[in-house]
Structure 1
């Protein structure tokens, strides 16, 4: 980790765009310790076994059929940054058409803020199912091994059980996108629309609410099937992880708030409550009806009133 090199990369940012994405990647990596990725053959086999068991367990518990992504990688933090720079660049592409009052100053500030964002996320992401929104290619499943190890130690929980829990959560996302081939494009179009509106200086509250409702469904369903499929005790894992998120320092708390981590937690909780109610009424396999078509996604109102969704979706 070299903060001087990170600052230099930001200061030397160039080009005509609002963000120098090459400098973002360089600065984020320079400011972030990659972490140890020394893995034995047994370690790699354990990840593979957890992913395969998660696939089989979720297929059985949720009554859905899906395949694992072509790409399953165990990464360190720099790998995660490199894999996500292009995703951020594509997502924020509508901003590139906006004029800047003082281009060089704005570009430096934007580049620095994005480098901080990616560096912070790289230190906190445990696993990621990436449907490659706004891009072409196969979906990917990534595990950030140094973060999994460090957080398991911080929580004082066994690494094998914690790693397996993360694997089940990410494979649950793979089940959603594998069951609903339309979901990736659906999310992509809503994200593009929302960013484009913001880039034009407009705030479309209804579009943002619809995007949030979709993401709440995505996170809630993953929580449901992970809980029903996971084959070990896990209540203490969730409690300890939630306590850790709450008991962070002021700087980390501010960054988490700016990045919407509180909203993501709310999506987990609200979505899980919705799908628990649906599963109680129709079984876990019946909850998969949400992925049959975009029209079956719950509205913002239905998320808080599952009975309305149950009455609408036969």
Structure 2
């Protein structure tokens, strides 16, 4: 029997006397065979084998994927990816490695650490508290609470992958497939959902809270730490667990302040991810080769292929100039966020936690390089959320604070047009004094440094908290 599209072999074929396993060439282009170089061969030279067999394979594969999907697929989202499947696989991945529930004592410890760290931050930033709920999560709870944000964050990327599965098929296959093209993309959505779920499940084993990737993954104002993740972070540091937890709580609370009171920031980051996705291009020949090694009668083989990190995942984007430019802008913004957090947190805890310098370095190294699961996620989904110029960004925020005070430093977040560019990270002093590094007109930063805030009482409240408008409300 001939090889099928993407190299699949139909199981239990009595006519297959070649003795080949599913790990053979998988291309369906063997010389003189169906779909090969011989135009007189059965299938008329169709590069992916007999169209009837192609249709049969697509239907069987779609039935197999549907059998593994959740019966409660998201409705009304217009998503090309089944995120219910992703969530179920992520939870299964977590449970495979063990995931104990959070004890009452651990919950109380996390709440107390978040509450205390949030109070300390009042002295280090003019942005008021952005936390209204303080929780401790297990890894499974992290998956549940963060999946809506993951689906929104990854949807532009995963949609591009699924669309490419139909757009990049050979002309012969597109013309023959006709109505089956929708099935091809449905299959792709299931494949990508499984892959994303596997990556998110692996990532759950490394995170310490809801803000590990540089933005709150849970609901607005819902700060959370994972006791298991906090313990893992502190391994090998020889620092008391209470101190590690307080430091990570300060980072968690600082991110919530930033995103809670800089209204444009969250949507700006999502727009940068979408812009990056639009520049993605895929080499589908790699997909064909990998799928050619999967036995369609063995769902476990499919899952193994999807979850295997050695092969780098099924979908690998090619570098394009547009993609590289978008990624540079995204990395700069992530670096500015992370740099601000590191400066604010260090200021808040430096005189309270004896090992602040060691904790800051461990956190900086972790964010700059990422753990194994973060690399897995980046490989599978096609995006690294890395602040590559973290040290330069922290130096810029420190220089702004030295020149214009805490209020002047934080006022830069007023509008995205005020934010430093990548070239400004090369010359922070120039930016601090209003000379942009990209050649655009000079900015008089002093007009944003808080004369209005002082008149409005923004220098501080009786309880020690600070706000640009002198209140605890949203700006």
Q: Name the TM-score, length of structure 1 as normaliser.
A: 0.79
Match of 1:215 among 322, 334, 346: 334
- Is the contact between residue 13 and residue 107 of structure 1 (CA under 8 Å) also seen in structure 2? no
The answer to whether the aligner puts 1:19 opposite 2:46 as a matched pair is: no
Alignment of 1:276-295 (within 5 A): 276-295=398-417
The answer to whether the aligner puts 1:80 opposite 2:142 as a matched pair is: yes
How far off its partner does 1:238 sit?
3.9
- Is the contact between residue 180 and residue 292 of structure 1 (CA under 8 Å) also seen in structure 2? yes
Alignment of 1:122-161 (within 5 A): 122-129=204-211, 138-161=220-243
User: SS at the partner of 1:72?
Assistant: strand
CA 286–188 in structure 1, closer or farther in 2 if over 3 Å, else same: same
Moved more, 75-84 or 87-96: 87-96
How far off its partner does 1:275 sit?
1.6
Q: Distance in 2 between matches of 1:57 and 1:87?
A: 28
- Is the contact between residue 274 and residue 304 of structure 1 (CA under 8 Å) also seen in structure 2? no
Gaps of 5+ in 1: 1-7
CA 206–141 in structure 1, closer or farther in 2 if over 3 Å, else same: same
- Is the contact between residue 71 and residue 138 of structure 1 (CA under 8 Å) also seen in structure 2? no
- Is the contact between residue 130 and residue 256 of structure 2 (CA under 8 Å) also seen in structure 1? yes
User: SS at the partner of 2:136?
Assistant: strand
User: SS at the partner of 1:255?
Assistant: helix
How far off its partner does 1:126 sit?
0.5
CA 283–112 in structure 1, closer or farther in 2 if over 3 Å, else same: same
Q: Distance in 2 between matches of 1:120 and 1:66?
A: 34
How far off its partner does 1:209 sit?
2.8
The answer to whether the aligner puts 1:61 opposite 2:124 as a matched pair is: yes
CA 106–166 in structure 1, closer or farther in 2 if over 3 Å, else same: same
How far off its partner does 1:204 sit?
4.6
User: What is the aligned partner in structure 1 of residue 430 from structure 2?
Assistant: 308
User: What is the aligned partner in structure 1 of residue 101 from structure 2?
Assistant: 37
Q: Distance in 1 between matches of 2:365 and 2:220?
A: 35
Q: For residues 140-192 of structure 1, what are the alpha-carbon distances to aligned partners after superposition, in whole Å with 9 as ceiling and x for unaligned?
A: 32212211123324544321111101001111112222332232233233333
Highest CA radius of gyration, 1 or 2?
A: 2
How far off its partner does 1:219 sit?
0.8
Q: Name the TM-score, length of structure 2 as normaliser.
A: 0.55
Across the aligned residues of Structure 1 and Structure 2, the Cα RMSD in angstroms comes to 3.7
User: SS at the partner of 2:111?
Assistant: helix
Q: Distance in 2 between matches of 1:240 and 1:38?
A: 25
The answer to whether the aligner puts 1:255 opposite 2:337 as a matched pair is: no
User: SS at the partner of 1:266?
Assistant: coil
Gaps of 5+ in 2: 1-63, 167-183, 283-316, 435-444, 447-475
Q: Distance in 1 between matches of 2:421 and 2:365?
A: 30
- Is the contact between residue 225 and residue 284 of structure 1 (CA under 8 Å) also seen in structure 2? no
- Is the contact between residue 81 and residue 190 of structure 2 (CA under 8 Å) also seen in structure 1? yes
CA 226–235 in structure 1, closer or farther in 2 if over 3 Å, else same: same
CA 75–38 in structure 1, closer or farther in 2 if over 3 Å, else same: closer
* Stretches (4+) displaced over 6 A: 8-11, 14-17, 130-133, 199-202, 242-249, 259-263
CA 13–68 in structure 1, closer or farther in 2 if over 3 Å, else same: same
If asked which structure has higher relative contact order (CA below 8 Å, sep 6+), I would say: 1
CA 10–68 in structure 1, closer or farther in 2 if over 3 Å, else same: farther
Match of 1:172 among 236, 245, 254: 254
User: SS at the partner of 1:37?
Assistant: coil
- Is the contact between residue 274 and residue 303 of structure 1 (CA under 8 Å) also seen in structure 2? yes
CA 30–174 in structure 1, closer or farther in 2 if over 3 Å, else same: same
Q: Distance in 1 between matches of 2:374 and 2:328?
A: 24
Q: For residues 115-148 of structure 1, what are the alpha-carbon distances to aligned partners after superposition, in whole Å with 9 as ceiling and x for unaligned?
A: 2210121011101249668x9x634322122111
- Is the contact between residue 117 and residue 249 of structure 2 (CA under 8 Å) also seen in structure 1? yes
User: SS at the partner of 2:165?
Assistant: coil
Q: Distance in 2 between matches of 1:69 and 1:196?
A: 34
Q: Which has the higher helix share?
A: 1
